[in-house]
Amino acid sequence: MLNENDKERLVKAAQSANLFVQDLQDLAKAENVLLANIAEELLKHAAVLEQRLCRIEHVTNTE
């Protein structure tokens, strides 16, 4: 069980991860091919991180 401070931190982290994923999706559309490729690679990792945080958030909200 998480205390209120930890819940707030988790929500903030999940929201930040979501924004980061959105920014990387935009960056992946860059005209510069190298930049777009780097963004796509980072996007894979960021999406996994976002999913994990959302799962943790969901599990802790159902307790």
25-58 pLDDT, tens digit per residue, is: 999 999 999 999 999 999 999 999 999 999 999 9
- pLDDT confidence of residue 63: 64
Contact partners, residue 19, CB within 8 Å, separation at least 6? none
Give the domain extent around 35.
4-61
Q: Which amino acid is at 18?
A: N
- pLDDT confidence of residue 44: 98
CA end-to-end distance (rounded Å), the chain: 7
**Number of domains comprising the chain:** 1
- pLDDT confidence of residue 61: 86
Kindly state the average pLDDT of the residues 3-31.
97
- pLDDT confidence of residue 40: 98
Alpha carbons 53 and 46: distance in angstroms, whole number: 11
- pLDDT confidence of residue 1: 81
Alpha carbons 53 and 37: distance in angstroms, whole number: 25
